[in-house]
Amino acid sequence: MKTEANIVNKVNDVYPSRIAAKPSIEDRKDPVVYSSWTESSPLTKEQTEFYEKNGYLFLEEYFTEEEVQAWKQELKQLQSYYKEQESEHVIREPESHEVRSIFAVHDNNAIFKALAKHEKLTSIMEYLLGSKTYIHQSRINFKPGFTGKEFYWHSDFETWHVEDGMPLMRALSCSIALEDNNHFNGALMVIPGSHKSFVSCVGATPENHYKDSLRKQEYGVPDPDSLTKLADEGGIQMPIGKAGSVLLFDCNIMHGSGSNISPYPRSNVFMVYNSVENKLAEPFSGQQPRPDYIANRSI
Amino acid sequence: MKTEANIVNKVNDVYPSRIAAKPSIEDRKDPVVYSSWTESSPLTKEQTEFYEKNGYLFLEEYFTEEEVQAWKQELKQLQSYYKEQESEHVIREPESHEVRSIFAVHDNNAIFKALAKHEKLTSIMEYLLGSKTYIHQSRINFKPGFTGKEFYWHSDFETWHVEDGMPLMRALSCSIALEDNNHFNGALMVIPGSHKSFVSCVGATPENHYKDSLRKQEYGVPDPDSLTKLADEGGIQMPIGKAGSVLLFDCNIMHGSGSNISPYPRSNVFMVYNSVENKLAEPFSGQQPRPDYIANRSI
């Protein structure tokens, strides 16, 4: 098969996107859970089945208040440090210029490096992905009160595949809540079951797209008809709970979040674990790879 | 007392706003419920007490599915009519130009005129406001799926007082849901108890402010400290329920709504009942009164 994508990437593109003139919904071609459950698995059989079926799993109060306090303290210090300090891996709110995300914390920061290697996390990741794993991307996100902006629906995998050359769906995200999440402070919403469909998007990826896309999504945006179909089938869930809760979600689940006009900020630690069997190839977009702090190639 | 407001409005301004250099929180000087409860009242004692204390009341599935269907049908026809037709009392989304609100439906449309006079509504309004009532403002709102914008916190009374010359807090709003409301399609949020405080805002009102404020609020915006104090004390509630449910809320309760990225639109009929004892005076802002379709003076 000779497609444009194959010219720049010798890995066969089983999930083409931003190539066709019309959007389409394709079946997922990879497993969701890469291990068979046994009594010694780090998740119960029910949890495993829930994750396989729905594409996410919410672990209520998985970490202690003390652990959360230490991470919040560190986040505060980093925010204050980057207030004046411009840095490539720090993303700000479009209007207020407040620090919204700090990338590569698993690499640059001792405390978050330890968290990324926490056995309570890696054991689950290795189980679900059926191999050793590494951090594809990490960041701490800070969604301020009053002015927290919405983040439109997207599949992370679509972007990681097209822009980073991640070959297959063998990665998952882990979001650790540093604040109590509730229905009114812009918590993450997921469309259960949507991880089993791949929404192929329209529109070619422009060069250096990542500089804008981290603030405002314009390419790799799923079309309204596909979103409506997925939401009609699977509904919409907004897993909420106390600080220290962990949301695991498959790399391909459709997710997004509304704005936060409440007075209460929402912050979390976000880490993506990828299987060592699924390391990045060349981007399928034909563009230059994104920087290492967004898509780790240094392993 | 000689204030600038008194020069243009002979009614004493007991709720000054947009005058002082700093925001402040003042006590409410008016009752919330203007009648004493009896066995023949249209609300139960518990409902009355809840409304008095919290400033809102949610009446689950108060109207039937058939009634809702008829109103939705009428909304669709009006939307389709105003798609091409420019009209002063039709408000559109800033970017997409979609019809967001149609004002004065109690006046211009037979079906909504009948709804405004529905005995199931007027009996409650006359009870809570302790007098005959009239419609101060009415509209149908349409918050589209995917792109429904947030609406920031505000007290309606602050605007109606400053810009319309409504003397006292003796009015209430009634929002009839035409779709099921849930946690993820931008339902209205209220701060319970906030109706008992008046947040005096900073910044003078510019001329013809209403033309922009219906789309994007910039004046009469409560300050973050006051909002945080009110939310810390009263919490935040998001009353949700099936189509046909009615949310009653006091003219001075702090309310707002987040964005709606879900595929599902949210529409409602919104009517403000004012006591005939509380008719509009001259605006306290010293500006020209807003048009009749926004603030009814023709009674």
d(CA B71, CA A168): 49
Say if A54 falls within a structural domain.
Answer: yes
Q: Least CA distance to A257: which residue of chain B? A: B261
What Rg value do the Cα atoms of chain A yield, rounded?
A: 18
The closest alpha carbon to B294, from B39, B61, B104, belongs to: B104
Say if A15 falls within a structural domain.
Answer: no
**Worst-scoring range by mean pLDDT, A6-20, A143-157, A166-180, B281-295?**
A6-20
What number of CA atoms fall less than 13 Å from residue B33's CA on the CB side?
A: 24
Choose, out of B98, B150, B225, the residue to mutate when testing the contact with A (most A CBs < 10 Å).
B150
d(CA A187, CA A279): 30
Between A150, A228, A232, which is nearest B259 by CB? A150
**A223-230 average pLDDT score:** 96
What percent of chain A shows pLDDT beyond 70?
Answer: 92
Q: Least CA distance to A230: which residue of chain B? A: B263
Q: What is the pLDDT of residue A97?
A: 79
Residue range A106-149, pLDDT digits in tens: 999 999 999 999 999 999 999 999 999 999 999 999 888 998 88
d(CA A187, CA A181): 6
Whether residue B184 and residue A260 make contact (CB cut-off 8 A), yes or no, is no
Residue range A31-57, pLDDT digits in tens: 999 999 999 999 999 999 999 999 999
Between A152, A183, A224, which is nearest B183 by CB? A183
B186 inside 8 A of chain A by CB: yes
d(CA A222, CA A157): 12
Residue A215 CB contacts under 8 Å (≥ 6 apart), including other chains: A91, A92, A93, A94, A100
- What ipTM was reported for this prediction? 0.86
Q: What is the pLDDT of residue B143?
A: 84
Whether residue A189 and residue B189 make contact (CB cut-off 8 A), yes or no, is no
| Residue A213 clears pLDDT 70, i.e. is over it | no
Say if A223 falls within a structural domain.
Answer: yes
d(CA A57, CA A121): 13
**Which pair of structure tokens corresponds to residue B179?**
């779709």
B40 inside 8 A of chain A by CB: no
A232: exposed, middle or buried (Cβ count in 10 Å: 0-12, 13-18, 19+): exposed
Q: What is the pLDDT of residue A214?
A: 55
Name chain A contacts of B184, Cβ cutoff 8 Å. Answer: 189, 236, 238, 258
Say if B1 falls within a structural domain.
Answer: no
Q: How far is the alpha carbon of A244 from chain B, nearest alpha carbon, in Å?
A: 22
Q: Which domain holds residue B214?
A: 32-278
Predicted confidence band at A5 (pLDDT cuts at 50, 70, 90)? very low
Say if B184 falls within a structural domain.
Answer: yes
Q: What is the pLDDT of residue B147?
A: 86
**How many CB atoms within 10 Å of residue A278?**
21
Name chain B contacts of A224, Cβ cutoff 8 Å. Answer: 145-146, 263
d(CA A40, CA A58): 20
Say if B298 falls within a structural domain.
Answer: no
Q: What is the pLDDT of residue A211?
A: 64
B81 inside 8 A of chain A by CB: no
d(CA B191, CA B152): 13
> Count of domains in chain B?
1
Choose, out of B154, B183, B189, B217, the residue to mutate when testing the contact with A (most A CBs < 10 Å).
B183
Residue range A234-287, pLDDT digits in tens: 999 999 999 999 999 999 999 999 999 999 988 999 999 999 999 999 999 888
Q: What is the pLDDT of residue B201?
A: 93
pTM of the model: 0.89
**A81-108 average pLDDT score:** 87
* DSSP code of residue B95: T
Predicted confidence band at A210 (pLDDT cuts at 50, 70, 90)? low
Write out chain B's pLDDT in tens, 299 residues: 344 444 456 678 999 999 888 999 999 999 999 999 999 999 999 999 999 999 999 999 999 999 999 999 999 999 989 988 889 999 987 777 788 899 999 999 999 999 999 999 999 999 999 999 999 999 999 888 998 888 999 999 999 999 999 999 999 999 999 999 988 888 999 999 999 999 999 876 666 666 666 555 567 899 999 999 999 999 999 999 999 999 999 999 999 999 999 999 889 999 999 999 999 999 998 889 999 999 999 88
Indicate which CATH number applies to the domain containing B201. 2.60.120.620
Q: What is the pLDDT of residue B264?
A: 93
CB A226 within 8 A of CB A213: no
Q: What is the pLDDT of residue B236?
A: 97
| Residue A91 clears pLDDT 80, i.e. is over it | yes
Q: What is the pLDDT of residue B299?
A: 83
Say if A12 falls within a structural domain.
Answer: no
| Residue A6 clears pLDDT 70, i.e. is over it | no
Say if A19 falls within a structural domain.
Answer: no
